[in-house]
Amino acid sequence: MIVDLPSSTVSVVNKKLVELRESGGVLALGRVLTLVIITDDGGAIEKAIEAGNSASREHPCRVIVLARGQRRAAPRLDAQIRVGGDAGASEVVVLRGYGALAADEAGAGMVMPLLLPDAPVVAWWPSEAPAEPSTDAIGRLAGRRITDALSAKNPVKAFEQRRANHAEGDTDLVWTRLTHWRALLASALDFPPHDTITSASVTGETVSPSTDLMAGWLATRLGVKVRRSRADGAGMVSVRLDRRSGPVELIRPDGRTGTLRQPGQPDRLIALARRTVPDCLAEELRRLDPDDVYGEALAGVGQISRGRSSSSTSSSAGQSGEAEA
């Protein structure tokens, strides 16, 4: 069910939420957090709501969507409440602010009365995010702040901002997309021989924040020299860990299926397709404590060396149609 409240106020929205709960009993009460989605009013808003709804089925929460409209328009707040089948496992409140209400400070003021009492607040910018999320008006309300450098107009600039302005509680979906890669590499090292890793290399698309972050993670975790090379394929293509007994390699030339190679063992094919945004968002909502390893990986990006990839790696990359890890 969708209830539109044009030219409304936050007080009216709150009263309507209580009315819907009392009359229909359709709103979940066992909610674990408030998810605030900050975006511009436009076509991408529905994708963000869909991702929030999907995540709420694993983490029942109130989803507040702050859709900033035209700042030159007359001040107005158009609200919408979605419950039942249109709102995942809880309720969705969409606030479209125009004019002065489209400013960041005004948006924070509209969100505050709708936050669940005694529940953590998570802020998510699905596309463009502030340069320093922790000092943003909404970011100051949240214990966890989720961004996505890959969705920005300039992913390289956005990623550099994440590195320069990282604060406790920040995370980015370019890091979450690496979870399966990191798990596979860590499990591969559990098998003998347990000899020392002497160096590592990561190969990926020229503009691939996840590839850079993978190299930074390896540099800090292993304490060895890591080389970041370019490949013709899209996203991250391969990771190689050099050991005296032979290299451990995880290669994904087509963007969908990976091959894990280890000394003395047959090659293993692994499903390694790029993760969806709803999947990554749901994973980030599983933990509300600071992700210290992510912060260390960001710092480690400054330790990696860069160079061109070998011709054999580049030629095997293929065209995956994927844009990132």
pLDDT in tens, 76-94: 999 999 987 777 767 899 9
Give residue 85's domain range: 2-147
Residue 289 lies in a domain: yes
In the chain, % of residues over pLDDT 70: 92
The pLDDT of residue 282 is 95
Q: How many domains does the chain have?
A: 2
Residue 59 lies in a domain: yes
Residue 153 lies in a domain: no
d(CA 208, CA 204): 7
Residue 157 lies in a domain: no
Looking at the fold, whether 93 and 26 belong to one and the same domain comes out as yes
**pLDDT tens-place string over residues 251-300:** 998 888 999 999 888 999 999 999 999 999 999 999 899 999 999 999 99
Q: Quick check: 124 pLDDT over 60?
A: yes
Strands in 197-204's sheet, in edge-to-edge order, are 268-271, 257-261, 248-251, 236-243, 197-204, 225-230, 305-308
d(CA 189, CA 197): 10
pLDDT-based confidence at residue 54 (cuts at 50, 70, 90): very high
Q: Quick check: 179 pLDDT over 60?
A: yes
Q: Quick check: 320 pLDDT over 60?
A: no
Domain holding 8: CATH number?
3.40.50
The pLDDT of residue 309 is 53
Residue 154 lies in a domain: no
8 Å CB contact between 260 and 184: yes
Q: Which residue has better confidence, 228 or 26? A: 228
Residue 169 lies in a domain: no
Residue 228 lies in a domain: yes
The pLDDT of residue 82 is 92
Residue 159 lies in a domain: no
